[in-house]
């Protein structure tokens, strides 16, 4: 039996590393992780000492060295869309969905995975969500978009 291929990923807004751990368990190699929160960064570094890690705002990082990577993954902050908050969407300074789209545009990965809260899909954010889908469609990534099933 042959060696399985090594799939390479970038993990944005990685926090303490939950998504990186899941990717690792699924056979992915996270080549770069980015998180700006100091406490979460310390935990990530402890749990993933061999992963290239940047404690920075994603908006301040150039990702051109990762052009064509297999996967860009991440969960932009959910506060702008959470029903537990004010739901300000693009008017919330914590809205990092455009930063995620920029990284996809810059790297042109083979695939991307963006995770967020169900509040992003509410009627209140329908216009915003539609604009995000159009951004991904303009990059030729989205055809027949539909959200993953929530449980």
Per-residue pLDDT tens for 106-145? Answer: 999 999 998 876 667 777 778 877 888 888 888 888 765 6
Per-residue pLDDT tens for 74-111? Answer: 988 777 666 676 776 666 677 788 999 999 999 999 99
- pLDDT-derived band at 1, boundaries 50, 70, 90: very low
- pLDDT-derived band at 38, boundaries 50, 70, 90: very high
pTM above 0.75, yes or no: yes
Which among 14, 62, 78, 150 is annotated as catalytic?
78
CA-based Rg of the chain, rounded to a whole angstrom? Answer: 16
Contact by Cβ (8 Å): 106, 63: yes
Q: Which of 6-15, 45-54, 57-66, 133-142 has the lowest mean pLDDT?
A: 133-142
Cβ neighbours for 136, distance < 8 A, ≥ 6 positions apart: 101, 104, 112, 142, 145
- Domains of the chain, earliest start first: 7-138 (3.40.50.150)
78 classed as catalytic: yes
């Amino acid at each position: 039996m042959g060696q399985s291929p090594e799939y390479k990923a970038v993990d944005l807004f990685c926090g303490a590393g939950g998504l990186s751990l899941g990717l690792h368990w699924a056979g992915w190699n996270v080549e770069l992780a980015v998180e700006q929160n100091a406490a979460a960064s310390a935990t990530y570094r402890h749990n993933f000492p061999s992963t290239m890690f940047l404690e920075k705002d994603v908006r301040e990082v150039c990702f051109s060295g990762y052009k064509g990577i297999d996967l860009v993954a991440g969960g932009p902050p959910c506060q702008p869309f959470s029903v537990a908050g004010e739901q300000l969407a693009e008017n919330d300074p914590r809205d990092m969905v455009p930063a995620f789209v920029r990284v996809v545009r810059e790297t042109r990965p083979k695939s991307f995975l963006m995770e967020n809260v169900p509040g992003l899909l509410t009627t209140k954010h329908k216009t915003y969500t539609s604009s995000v889908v159009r951004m991904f469609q303009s990059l030729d990534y989205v055809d027949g978009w539909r959200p993953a099933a929530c449980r």
